[in-house]
């Protein structure tokens, strides 16, 4: 550990295998391979930011070149090699950032440099950080040297150590020549214990709830956790201990209880309180995209609260939040929660379209108030996936009895009356219902489907059906087709939507391995070719050729008789 550094992420950076947290199995594997002289030509470390990729790379470099040997690896009194490697100035251990040196020429320089043996160490080592940034040509230039690195007279050799956050961008030809190690996120409990020890060493006044918030925000990254702890220590009041609310203000992280209250009012249909609660959250400086991600997180907890345990290793929810979410979960249909999830994901994609994202968020919440289904909302409800429902604010007294205080939630035990939606009110009138039934379209044949598309001005669908679709079978609400390579990728989705819109029934459109009938356009073209061939055999065409020997018949237009 670099005790001279004032930055915690550097000051408490591991220097030996025992200092590593959360990567014990990987550390033991590497230690044993070096101890038994079976280390690979190239190591590849992958994982999220801040879990120790570059740190382990340096420890491996020290393990290979330590003058005391790996079993007595330097921890405090560093040998010459270990000290130079820790300070990134060892002549035989070269650290390169692939983000700034991506070209094939940079790799060629490395390969040329590798021809010469190490000066003071046993192994020459190249540590390449963010290796996925190398160009394709640079990777290709490395392949031969990775597979057969040079051996030096001192008995050592050349070792590559790669670190990356995006393993999928590295060619498989490179990955197959490396020994790959996937570094996992650090467990919440281990990370909490670690930063608490650091806090005590730094004589910080921060309570456990604030430390748990740091663990949650860091998402398993040790470096992020230490950086956040650095900020907490700098912002602490010398007389007062930093608590959860103080930490939330420092990190711009709003209290989840506001979000839970917002969900209560959403399920009540209380638009005024929903907007009021959201504005309280927004005024704390929360960005709309962060709000939506936290919204999704609470939505996940409401849906899956029965399978989540309060075992001390999950710092996402405190006891009170857990109980509040549990109460809400017992009163809301899973179907509705899944619909909310899908709608929120869609809103995330649309967020950048609107210039004022705050207005977009308020409209998003108002739209959620209207996404209800056409059955009663009592206990474990069932919602049909068809129609949208308007929930009246009068349902408040029949669903949940929630006071305006965000911390109170009482579930009433009396039955709840059914709330009708627009569709139910319209179809409750017998005359309107009969009229609606009469408007349904029946489609019995493929030709009728094409004619309906023409009548409804769905010219794109008509074109696809006539040109790129081969009919295999057409039965009741099921169409089996084959197609050519020109068929539009959204054809099935668009046709299914239109069929449901026209017939009020679900249709199945299936692709068949059979060739099916030829397309309508091809059939017309074949008929036209036959007519042309028949015409060429006629007397009129022969007389034309006698007068114009070089003439060639290109097309023929048929004219119907009056």
Q: What is the CATH number of the domain that holds 63?
A: 3.40.50.300
| Cβ–Cβ under 8 Å, residues 131 and 163 | yes
333-355 per-position pLDDT tens digit: 888 888 899 889 988 888 888 88
Residues 205 and 279 in one domain: no
Taking the C-alpha atoms of residue 377 and residue 395, their distance in angstroms, rounded to an integer, is 9
pLDDT computed for residue 40 by the predictor: 92
Taking the C-alpha atoms of residue 551 and residue 18, their distance in angstroms, rounded to an integer, is 92
Per DSSP, the three-state class of 158 is strand
pLDDT computed for residue 373 by the predictor: 42
pLDDT computed for residue 250 by the predictor: 83
User: CA torsion sign, 512 to 515 to 516 to 517?
Assistant: positive
Residue of 57, 17, 56, 52 lying closest to 224 (CA atoms)? 52
User: Which parts of the chain have pLDDT scores under 70?
Assistant: 1-5, 235-239, 309-316, 318, 372-440, 558-562
Residues 51 and 167 in one domain: yes
Q: Which residue has the tokens 């065409």?
A: 541
pLDDT computed for residue 450 by the predictor: 87
Which pair of structure tokens corresponds to residue 133? Answer: 């940034």
Residue 537 resides in a domain: no
pLDDT computed for residue 438 by the predictor: 44
Tell me how far CA of residue 400 lies from CA of 263, 356, 407, in angstroms.
Answer: 12, 33, 14
Residues 25 and 165 in one domain: yes
Residue 69, domain extent? 8-182
Residues 308 and 393 in one domain: yes
Residue 331 resides in a domain: yes
pLDDT computed for residue 410 by the predictor: 39
Domain limit, last residue, from 136, 160, 182: 182
Residue of 171, 118, 183, 181 lying closest to 146 (CA atoms)? 171
- Supply the CATH number for residue 236's domain: 1.10.8.60
Residue 473 resides in a domain: yes
Residues 376 and 315 in one domain: yes
- Give, for 205, the enclosing helix (H) or strand (E): none
Residues 274 and 374 in one domain: yes
Residues 344 and 269 in one domain: yes
- Supply the CATH number for residue 276's domain: 1.20.272.10
Residues 261 and 247 in one domain: no
pLDDT computed for residue 61 by the predictor: 93
If one counts the domains in the chain, the total is 4
Residue 529 resides in a domain: no
Residues 237 and 310 in one domain: no
pLDDT computed for residue 5 by the predictor: 64
Residue 546 resides in a domain: no
Residues 387 and 504 in one domain: no
Residues 123 and 214 in one domain: no
| Cβ–Cβ under 8 Å, residues 438 and 389 | no
223-262 per-position pLDDT tens digit: 999 999 988 888 656 667 888 888 887 887 777 788 888 9
Residues 31 and 72 in one domain: yes
């Amino acid at each position: 550990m670099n005790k001279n550094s004032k930055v915690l992420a550097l000051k408490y950076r591991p220097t030996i295998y025992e200092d590593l947290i959360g990567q014990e199995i990987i550390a033991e594997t590497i230690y044993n391979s070096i101890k038994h002289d079976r280390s690979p030509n190239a190591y590849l470390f992958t994982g999220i930011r801040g879990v120790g990729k570059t740190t382990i790379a340096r420890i491996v470099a020290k393990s290979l070149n330590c003058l005391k040997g790996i079993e007595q690896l330097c921890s405090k009194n560093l040998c010459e090699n270990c000290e130079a490697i820790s300070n990134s100035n060892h002549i035989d251990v070269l650290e390169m950032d692939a983000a700034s040196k991506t070209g094939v020429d940079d790799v060629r320089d490395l390969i040329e440099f590798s021809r010469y043996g190490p000066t003071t160490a046993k192994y020459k080592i190249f540590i390449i950080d963010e290796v996925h940034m190398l160009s394709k040509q640079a990777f290709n230039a490395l392949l031969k040297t990775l597979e057969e690195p040079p051996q030096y007279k001192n008995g050592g050799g050349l070792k590559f150590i790669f670190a990356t956050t995006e393993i999928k961008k590295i060619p498989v030809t490179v990955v197959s020549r490396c020994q790959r190690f996937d570094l996992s996120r650090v467990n919440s409990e281990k990370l909490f214990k670690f930063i608490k020890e650091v806090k005590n060493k730094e004589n910080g006044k921060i309570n456990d709830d604030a430390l748990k918030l740091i663990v949650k925000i860091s998402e398993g990254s040790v470096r992020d956790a230490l950086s956040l702890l650095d900020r907490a220590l700098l912002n602490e009041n010398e007389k007062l201990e930093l608590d959860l609310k103080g930490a939330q203000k420092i990190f711009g992280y709003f209290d989840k209880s506001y979000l839970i209250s917002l969900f209560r009012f959403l399920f009540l249909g209380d638009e005024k309180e929903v907007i009021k609660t959201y504005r309280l959250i927004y005024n704390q400086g929360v960005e709309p995209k962060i709000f939506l991600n936290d919204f999704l997180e609470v939505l996940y907890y409401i849906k899956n609260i029965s399978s989540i345990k309060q075992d001390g290793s999950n710092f996402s929810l405190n006891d009170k939040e857990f109980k509040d979410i549990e109460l809400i979960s017992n009163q809301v249909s899973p179907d509705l929660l899944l619909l909310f999830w899908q709608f929120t994901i869609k809103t995330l994609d649309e967020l950048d379209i609107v210039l004022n994202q705050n207005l977009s968020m308020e409209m998003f919440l108002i739209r959620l108030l209207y996404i209800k289904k056409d059955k009663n909302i009592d206990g474990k409800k069932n919602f049909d996936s068809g129609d949208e429902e308007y929930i009246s604010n009068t349902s408040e007294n029949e669903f949940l009895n929630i006071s305006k205080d965000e911390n109170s939630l009482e579930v009433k035990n009396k039955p709840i009356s059914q709330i009708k939606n627009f569709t139910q009110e319209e179809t409750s009138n017998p005359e309107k219902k009969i009229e609606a039934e009469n408007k349904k379209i029946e489609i019995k044949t493929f030709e009728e489907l094409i004619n309906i598309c023409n009548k409804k001005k769905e010219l794109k669908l008509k074109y696809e059906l006539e040109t790129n679709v081969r009919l295999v079978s057409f039965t009741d609400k099921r169409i089996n087709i084959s197609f050519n390579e020109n068929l539009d990728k959204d054809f099935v989705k668009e046709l299914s939507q239109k069929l449901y819109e026209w017939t009020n029934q679900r249709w199945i459109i299936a692709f068949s391995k059979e060739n099916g009938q030829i397309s309508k356009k091809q059939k017309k073209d074949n008929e036209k070719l036959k007519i042309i061939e028949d015409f060429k055999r006629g007397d009129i065409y022969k007389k034309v050729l006698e007068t114009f020997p070089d003439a060639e018949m290109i097309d023929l237009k048929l004219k119907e008789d009056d």
